[in-house]
Amino acid sequence: MKVQETKKTEVDKVQVEEIPKEYRTLLSPCNIPAGDTSHLAVDDLKFALEQSDSRNIAVTGHYGSGKSSVANTCINEMGIGDKVLRISMSTFSLPVDTKPVGDNLYSDDIEYKIVQHLLYKCDKAKIPHSGFKRIRLPKEVNFSSYVTYTLIAFVCYIIAFEPTIFQIDSFYDAYHKLFGKEVGWWINLIADAVAVAYLIRYLWEVGKMLASKLHQIRSVKVEAKGVKLEASKDAEVSVFNRYLDEIVYIIQSNKYDYILFEDLDRLDNSDRLFLKIRELNMLINESETFKSQKRVVRFIYAIRDDVFTRELRTKCFDYIVAVVPVVDYYNVTDYLIKQYKSKGLFKTVETPVLEQLLNRVSGLRELKNIVNEYTLFQKSLKTHLSGDDENYEQKLLAVIVYKNLFPQDFARAYLKKGLFYKIFKNKSLFSEDETKELREKANASIHSMNEAREKIINIRKQYLEKLNDEVEVTSLIKDGYDYTLGQVASRDNLFGLFINNEFDRYTYTDHNREETGSMTYNFEFDEIEKKVTEDMGYYEAIDELSQAYNRSNDERLKLEKEIKVIENTALREVLRKIGGEKARAVFNKIYVKEYPAKENEPQSVNDEMVDTLLTMIYGGYITEDYYLYISKFYEGATSESDYQFTNAVLQGTERPFDQKLNNVKSVIRKFRVEDFKNNSILNYDILNYLLDNKEEHFLTSFIQTARKNPEFIVSYFQMSEKVNDQFFTRVFDGWDSCVNVIKGQEKTENSDVLLKLLFREAPITIKLSDDEIKYLEGKYEFLHSSITFYKLAKLKKFINKYNLCFETLVKPNKESQDLYDYCLTNKRFVISKKNLGVILGDSMIKKPMTAILELSNDKLKKYLINNQKTIATWFETSCNEESRAALLYMIKEAVGEDEWLAQYLSQQLYNFDDVSNLDKKSVELILSADKLAVKWHSVLDAYQVLGTLDNTLNEYLTRHAAVLSKERCVGDENLVALVHQQLFTGDKQSMNEFVKLLRSFDMPFTLEELGEMMMKESLKL
């Protein structure tokens, strides 16, 4: 309220503020100062009027050059104002249907009008005998007095003539008896004399009235609203000749010595008319009335230079006074600077701008009116323009100039018509070609997106079809809602549930049993992947298609934003971009539509109007905010666009989010807080204004509405020219269901944008459920692909706050390396075979444990080692390049069961050469895995660790007897002797292996040893 009251006070102050008198000038002709160079024409006219033979004098010059000012100044200085009769053709109102009938009739109409001027401009009291009857003020007629006068006359007649019919004998007898005969005779004589006198006077007055009426009976018809003269006898006689006596009588009676004709050149056939007026002048001056009085009547004509041909110009006039124009196209700017800008007007308008705006102003009168209107508009509009736009003076001047040059087109703007209005209304026509090309490219990107999307959906269907090989799965159920496989394949959020094994049940059709039903969902996506392809996962299968889709989508968004930028670009910039020739073609197209040709007439274009408006818009003097300069501002005033938006909100009709609002503050003041809960309030300009001006009571409701319409949040981020990031922070602050909203978006594009904004802008105070956290944990690949969008420090805080452990890591690039390292160091990933493969890379296939132990990130290494038993189960048969240290670590830490460890050791390429420092269990595993180097020194080391030739070592020697037999068993003599003794006594080897192994020893057998061996052999036999 305080703001409105302050604005009202400012407006009222301006309304009462007086406009400086030096800025206000009348448009009517003015007196020319004696020292002015234009006064030379006044002196020239004086000279002509003083000459006895000059009776027809022309004052010539182009429109607005000051002809009337010269004539007025001369008349005033000569003091002959009461002797001048002015006849101006600009006041004539000729019937439209008179001209086509014929030039003669048209000329007669003009002559009638001149006679009408003579009649109505003169003093009616001075022409009592004129045959023209003028309309006079009605007098109240006393009919009772006329009756009384007539009755008195009747009585006088009876008294004077004593008609027999009125004689009464008894009256006479009484009369003579009363007065006597002598006295009665005298009384009768006197009465007769008085009666006769009254009758004579009565008849005299009646005769005068009849004579006056009979004198006025002419061939002239007088109407209530003017004089209509009609020829009653000879149609060939001109009006001037027919009523010459009346004209002479009027001029002579009113003592007119000068008749000033103005604007005769505006009428057609003016050359013929001038000859007739010259003839009239001659007839008047040659009449006996004027000759006898030695009077001369002079006609003065204020006319344009170009009215006559070379011959007629000097034939019609006795003297020609040429008026040098004060203002024309060439000096209008200099005159304005001298007369007005030097006095403080147009302070901020530079001279080159004045040159461009005023180069079509052709006369002083037009220039004065422009200044008058500019001054008035400036004072009226000052409160809402001066503080908003530093160029408001030149914009206002441009509007006022156009208003004066083309008043009809300007007036149509108030009716939402005309070139001035439609140029801005149809701004899109100027960039039509450019936007058309961009739209075609955008459509091509959409087509590419659809193709990639369709291929992704087809791949998804392949996975869905492998759900159950025994029955046909028809739908998947989540939270009581059934989704067909086609819906799951086409909607990212649903397919995400499928990947994460989050569906509750599924329906099926068993064609063999001809039955349908539903069962608990118990499928694992990893198993389904293996059914589709063994060498490539789902994300690898769609990776190229996803990249193609994203590239096309990015291109589409870029193109659509370019289109919006072009559509919102100022018309001035658009015109400069497309060039003058193309701009003019659009101007002409709009002009033709607004001003179509009349029937049976060719189409034409007002080139001057088009050129003027094009120049003003191109120069930035008339812009899209022109409406601020054509009507007075009131608190709450709106433009057409603002008006449409306001109505849409109040009526609940949705408008485009990007609708341009010109006066956002004014629009907002028309709404209540409740209106900001309406979806139609969602608008980029409204939002930016609320954020910039901290309109919290409105902003809170606006944000709540935006949360219910996520597509607005997405559109604002993608398409708005001005994006205020604090909006996204405000949106997510307290929006505890935001992740569920993101999950529920049907369009991938919308969910992706919202997810990006969540990770970047959401405060860590929002509450997330376990399900929502699990959803976010599946979005590491998304973060990786859009890593440059985020502020990494804030993203790390978000991850840490909600303890996110990402399900699927992605091999980092240069940009995502920091996030990747953070997640590994801080255990922000799930221990899984896929993630381990990303971490270890190719080593996962050949030497995973070696790679783990060689990790430089100690925290990561520790995290993996703590989960080594789980990790070890993912080691494949292809892992055969583990290092000695890694193998010994696995044996020592017992990362798996002995059987598994033996199996894993057996597939390694590495053979243990030295086992002397190993424990007994390790050696046994090595021997069982057959990974001891086939060397006698290795055998001796193993024997020494084991302390005996157990079955494992003996089996090893039996397996490799052929190889060992080629090498001498050398080493510690005592150790060799022990091995020799245990190896060759008893029944540990068959004779074949016995013989082979015996070759590696040089030691002899004792008789006791031979006897024992022979005994065991005989027992076998």
Question: Which tops the pLDDT comparison, 871 or 639?
Answer: 871
What is the mean pLDDT of the segment spanning 971-980?
82
pLDDT at 107: 63
In the chain, the percentage of residues whose pLDDT exceeds 90 is: 22
Across 499-523, average pLDDT = 89
Q: Is the pLDDT of residue 481 over 50?
A: yes
Does pLDDT of 620 surpass 50? yes
Are residues 956 and 927 in contact, defined by beta-carbon separation less than 8 angstroms? Answer: yes
Q: Say if CB 902 and CB 929 are below 8 A apart.
A: yes
> Binning pLDDT at 50, 70 and 90, where does residue 829 land?
very high
| 8-state DSSP, 987 | S
pLDDT of residue 884: 92
Q: In what order do the strands lie in the sheet with 505-510?
A: 481-484, 472-478, 505-510, 515-520
Mean pLDDT of 870-877: 89
Which tokens is 497 given? 């549930």
154-209 pLDDT, tens digit per residue, is 788 777 777 766 665 566 666 666 666 666 667 777 877 888 888 888 888 888 77
Q: Which of 115-119, 449-453, 878-882 has the lowest mean pLDDT?
A: 115-119
Report the alpha-carbon distance of residue 92 to residue 26 in Å, rounded: 22
* Alpha-helical regions (H) of 216-269: 239-242, 244-253
Residue in the structure block whose two tokens are 């013989």: 995
Taking only the tens place, the pLDDT of each residue in 17-41 is 454 555 555 555 667 777 777 788 8
* % of the chain with per-residue pLDDT over 70: 79
The pLDDT score that the predictor gives to residue 1006 is 56
> For residues 360 and 1018, which has the higher predicted lDDT (pLDDT)?
360
On the question of pLDDT at 7 being above 60, the answer is: no
pLDDT-derived band at 1005 (thresholds 50, 70, 90) equals low
The per-residue pLDDT for 611 is 92
User: pLDDT digits over 728-781, tens only?
Assistant: 999 999 898 899 999 888 788 888 899 999 999 888 888 899 989 988 998 998
Q: Phi and psi at residue 473, in whole multiples of 5°?
A: -75, 125
More confident residue, 331 or 543: 543
- pTM across the whole model: 0.57
Rounded to whole angstroms, what are the CA distances from 600 to 102, 596, 597, 830? Answer: 22, 11, 8, 84
Supply the pLDDT for residue 483. 92
Residue 989: per-residue pLDDT: 60
d(C-alpha 784, C-alpha 890), whole Å: 34
Residue 796 pLDDT more than 90? yes
How many CB atoms within 10 Å of residue 424? 17
pLDDT of amino acid 800: 93
The predicted pLDDT at position 746 comes to: 79
Q: What is the mean pLDDT of residues 280-292?
A: 83
User: What's the pLDDT score for residue 533?
Assistant: 76
